[in-house]
Amino acid sequence: MKFNHVANRLDGTHFELVVAMMKDRLGFVELRRTERAIWLRQPGTNIDLQFTRSDTAHRDDDKRRSQVSFLSLTPREDLAALVEWLGARGLAAEIGAYSDREFFMDAPAAFVDFVIEAMRPELAEYDVQV
């Protein structure tokens, strides 16, 4: 088997707004779309991100442990820019921290089972040959 994509759930009310953020602010391109889901890819990567519409009222209390993660030299600042972008469009979001080098953003009304993480690149430097 070969790794293909990761899927997360978005509240249907905010689905298109989050997709627009991924495209406009993070450069993702749309690969395909159905009535319930969209597949996105950030150019230069080889793993796809699928978002599925969800109408669940339950938000996982432990969702900070499930992330869509990005590398950044300025992780907190980059997440703050996304918070500001979403806020200007009516969706509240907030930033938290795992450490002084890794941060997360939650938009509780939109993200059902995940948060967006940004971390310093050195945290992804593994001594593994692939």
Please check whether residue 32 lies inside any domain of the structure: yes
Please check whether residue 63 lies inside any domain of the structure: yes
Element (H, E) at 86: helix 75-87
The CATH number of whichever domain residue 72 belongs to comes to 3.10.180.10
Please check whether residue 93 lies inside any domain of the structure: yes
Q: Report the pLDDT value the prediction gives residue 38, as an integer from 0 to 100.
A: 98
Please check whether residue 129 lies inside any domain of the structure: no
* Cβ contact 109:101 at 8 Å: no
- Summarised one tens digit per residue, pLDDT across range 68-87 is 999 999 999 999 999 999 99
Rounded to whole angstroms, the Cα distance separating 48 from 41 reads 5
Please check whether residue 130 lies inside any domain of the structure: no
Question: Containing domain of residue 77, as a range?
Answer: 5-124
Rounded to whole angstroms, the Cα distance separating 101 from 123 reads 8
Please check whether residue 118 lies inside any domain of the structure: yes
Please check whether residue 80 lies inside any domain of the structure: yes
Q: How confident is the model at residue 129 (pLDDT cuts 50, 70, 90)?
A: confident
- Summarised one tens digit per residue, pLDDT across range 29-57 is 999 999 999 999 999 998 999 999 999 87
* Cβ contact 2:47 at 8 Å: no
Number of compact structural domains in the chain = 1
Map tokens 């899927």 to a residue: 7
Over 90: is that where the pLDDT of 59 sits?
A: no
Q: How confident is the model at residue 61 (pLDDT cuts 50, 70, 90)?
A: confident
